[in-house]
């Protein structure tokens, strides 16, 4: 095919093979794909398939990997055209050079193959010079028919330059990463130890927006239930300690309102770190959520600790949140994944003890994996009190069957799952769980808010805790706890 040429694609699924005749010591290349809507942009960073994210959430596009023989090297992307979501109008077939330019790769070519038969549908021999990223071709819909176009457009700015043209979030400064969907803040050096004096200021959050406290709560009314005193509170900065004290009292009020005064529970926090959450991290919204949830854990469980997980494509357990170390915990662990975006998955330099290399977490939504991991933790670490899981996500739920299976199986376990939607969309089965039949006890709650930072503490705690007391009573009746 000549550059700019196009042809119809009758195959139901295709393999797009990037090939070249490499030589020892020469550069390498990697194939990639971007799934675009009618506006010519990705919906979020999950619509980018490449070596750090080898499969699209829909399963329709996959990075199949490299093969080398005496004739050269190929790297292949598989596209199931029938499985592509209706809102995907175009699949851009890109590539990036590693250790050189495309002009240094002889015999550069793109082949389109029928995935079922292996037969060649198109061959595009490409010319390149100083480019470090390339669009070889694209698959696009036209009048209900898929077609292929030979593009041959190069970029001197690498894969990041190509990706940003289509809406991928990329941090441009690898030395000081900021929390986009692709890169979390990486502290350059360990922060100084937290002073014990109550008046010490909160350490700044490295490369991250400060938590924005929610609307101030009204002072508790006379006769308000007493807040628990928790180990480590006295180490907090004065302003944070005051917020915590007032919030614990509001939690106590909510518990009394729902007939659960004095109830105890182990609290586990789960934080969505998928690509679409990036803005909520960078604005400090997630850090504020963590601080507000620390008050729930402090009031329900007086050991001063809360277990925590983060998740996207994969789950990762974070270090336990110890109340006295809340400022440092926010600084070190409330962040989104590094992909940076396109660095190879080598160990990240500069990680502090206990920090998660967020590149391994990825940027897609796989809620069922972290649900399974939390369930396993509860089974392996039994507690006298039931467990309340506070699960925060901005949506994009698509593993509905798998999530439903996990939560149905958890119905006989001493765990209550409270999901909170942070204003995006597509919460799937989580929104429907209250009406799903066939469960001995209701073990799942869900509500969504447009802007959690604007929800007053009193309202937030009421909504978080409204179902928990009734679940506990029913679980006790059925000898689950």
In 303-429, beta strands by DSSP E:
305-311, 315-322, 387-395, 415-425
Torsion of CA 152, 155, 159, 161, to 10 degrees: -130
Q: What is the mean pLDDT of residues 219-239?
A: 65
State the pLDDT confidence band at 169, using cuts at 50, 70 and 90: low
What contacts 396, CB < 8 A, 6 or more positions away? 44, 46, 274, 276, 365, 424, 425, 426
Predicted local confidence at residue 151, as pLDDT: 94
Predicted local confidence at residue 193, as pLDDT: 39
Interstrand relation of 266-272 and 387-395 (parallel, antiparallel or unpaired) = parallel
Does an H or E element contain 268, and which? strand 266-272
Predicted local confidence at residue 478, as pLDDT: 84
pLDDT digits (tens, 9 = 90+) for 451-463: 999 999 999 999 9
Predicted local confidence at residue 402, as pLDDT: 94
* More confident call, 160 vs 318: 318
Angle at alpha carbon of residue 479, lines to 476 and 481, rounded to 5°: 60
The verdict on pTM exceeding 0.75 is no
Predicted local confidence at residue 175, as pLDDT: 34
Most confident of 105-114, 184-193, 197-206: 105-114
Predicted local confidence at residue 350, as pLDDT: 65
Beta bridge pairs of residue 29:
97
* More confident call, 51 vs 64: 64
Q: Where are the domains of the chain?
A: 6-165, 233-477
C-alpha separations of 80 from 7, 84, 112, 113, 231 in Å: 17, 7, 13, 12, 55
Predicted local confidence at residue 197, as pLDDT: 33
Predicted local confidence at residue 183, as pLDDT: 33
Beta bridge pairs of residue 149:
6, 138
Predicted local confidence at residue 424, as pLDDT: 67
* More confident call, 228 vs 425: 425
Angle between helix axes 285-300 and 326-333 (nearest 10 degrees) is 140
State the pLDDT confidence band at 225, using cuts at 50, 70 and 90: low
* More confident call, 52 vs 101: 101
pLDDT digits (tens, 9 = 90+) for 434-479: 777 778 878 899 999 999 999 999 999 999 998 888 888 888 888 8
CATH class of 233-477: alpha beta
Beta bridge pairs of residue 93:
33, 137
C-alpha separations of 53 from 1, 31, 267, 326, 377 in Å: 30, 12, 32, 32, 27
Beta bridge pairs of residue 126:
none
C-alpha separations of 104 from 1, 18, 53, 71 in Å: 22, 15, 26, 16
Predicted local confidence at residue 214, as pLDDT: 52
What's 80's DSSP letter? E
Q: What is the mean pLDDT of residues 165-172?
A: 67
State the pLDDT confidence band at 353, using cuts at 50, 70 and 90: confident
pLDDT digits (tens, 9 = 90+) for 275-313: 778 778 878 899 999 999 999 999 998 677 899 999 988
What fold characterizes domain 6-165? Lipoxygenase-1 (2.60.60)
Provide, rounded to the nearest whole percent, the portion of the chain with pLDDT above 90: 47
Task: Confirm whether 6-165 and 233-477 share one CATH topology.
Answer: no
Does residue 206 carry a pLDDT above 50?
Answer: no
pLDDT digits (tens, 9 = 90+) for 314-338: 999 999 998 888 998 988 888 754 5
Report how far residue 44's alpha carbon sits from residue 430's, in angstroms, rounded to the nearest whole number: 21
C-alpha separations of 299 from 17, 252, 255 in Å: 58, 7, 10
Does residue 415 carry a pLDDT above 50?
Answer: yes
State the pLDDT confidence band at 209, using cuts at 50, 70 and 90: very low
pLDDT digits (tens, 9 = 90+) for 363-391: 778 999 999 999 999 999 999 889 999 99
Burial of 188 per CB tally in 10 Å (0-12, 13-18, 19+): exposed
Closest alpha carbon to 382 in 410, 356, 413:
413
**pLDDT mean across residues, the chain:** 82
Question: Do 2 and 150 touch, CB atoms closer than 8 A?
Answer: yes
Predicted local confidence at residue 94, as pLDDT: 93
Does residue 42 carry a pLDDT above 70?
Answer: yes
The end-to-end CA distance of the chain, in Å, is: 68
pLDDT digits (tens, 9 = 90+) for 106-158: 999 999 999 999 999 999 999 999 988 899 999 999 998 999 999 998 887 77
The DSSP annotation for 416-462 comes to: EEEEEEEEEE--THHHHGGG--S-SS--EEEEE-S-GGGS-HHHHHH
Does residue 163 carry a pLDDT above 90?
Answer: no
CA 184 to chain centre: 12
Does residue 222 carry a pLDDT above 70?
Answer: no
Report how far residue 1's alpha carbon sits from residue 379's, in angstroms, rounded to the nearest whole number: 59
């Amino acid at each position: 095919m000549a550059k700019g040429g196009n042809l119809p694609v009758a195959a139901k699924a295709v393999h797009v093979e990037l090939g070249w005749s490499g030589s020892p010591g020469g550069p390498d290349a990697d194939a990639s794909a971007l799934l675009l809507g009618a506006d010519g942009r990705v919906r979020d960073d999950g619509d980018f398939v490449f070596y750090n994210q080898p499969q699209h959430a829909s399963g329709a596009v996959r990075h199949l990997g490299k093969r080398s023989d005496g004739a050269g090297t190929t790297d292949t992307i598989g596209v199931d055209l029938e499985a592509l979501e209706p809102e995907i109008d175009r699949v851009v077939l890109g590539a990036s050079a590693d250790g050189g330019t495309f002009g240094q790769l002889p015999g550069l070519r793109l082949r389109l193959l029928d995935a079922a038969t292996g037969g060649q549908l198109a061959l595009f021999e490409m010319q390149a010079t100083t480019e470090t990223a390339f669009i070889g071709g694209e698959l696009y819909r036209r009048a209900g028919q898929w077609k292929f176009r030979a593009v041959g457009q190069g970029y001197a700015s690498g894969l990041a330059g190509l990706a940003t043209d289509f809406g991928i979030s990329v941090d441009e400064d690898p030395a000081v990463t900021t929390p986009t969907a692709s890169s979390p803040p990486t502290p350059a050096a360990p922060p100084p130890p937290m002073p014990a004096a109550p008046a010490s200021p909160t350490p700044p959050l490295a490369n991250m927006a400060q938590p924005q406290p929610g609307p101030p709560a009204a002072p508790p009314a006379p006769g308000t239930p007493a807040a628990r005193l928790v180990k480590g509170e006295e180490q907090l900065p004065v302003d944070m300690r005051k917020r915590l004290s007032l919030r614990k009292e509001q939690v106590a009020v909510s518990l009394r309102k729902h007939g659960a005064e004095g109830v105890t529970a182990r609290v586990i926090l789960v934080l969505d770190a998928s690509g679409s959450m990036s803005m909520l991290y960078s604005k400090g919204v997630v850090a504020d959520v963590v601080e507000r949830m620390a008050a729930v854990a402090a009031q329900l469980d007086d050991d001063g600790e809360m277990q925590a997980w983060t998740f996207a494509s994969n789950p990762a357990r974070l270090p336990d949140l110890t109340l006295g170390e809340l400022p440092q915990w926010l600084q070190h662990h409330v962040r989104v994944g590094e992909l940076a975006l396109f660095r190879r998955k080598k160990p990240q330099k500069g990680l502090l003890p206990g920090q998660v290399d967020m590149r391994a977490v990825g940027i897609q939504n796989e809620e069922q994996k972290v649900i399974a991991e939390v369930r396993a933790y509860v089974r392996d670490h039994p507690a006298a009190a039931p467990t309340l899981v506070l699960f925060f996500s901005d949506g994009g739920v698509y593993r509905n069957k798998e999530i439903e299976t996990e939560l149905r199986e958890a119905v006989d376990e001493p765990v209550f799952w409270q999901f909170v939607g942070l204003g995006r969309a597509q919460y799937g089965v989580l929104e429907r769980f209250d009406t799903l039949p066939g469960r001995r006890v209701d073990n799942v709650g869900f509500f969504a808010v447009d802007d959690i930072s604007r929800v007053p503490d009193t309202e937030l705690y009421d909504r978080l805790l409204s179902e928990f007391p009734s679940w506990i009573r029913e679980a006790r009746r059925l000898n689950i706890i």
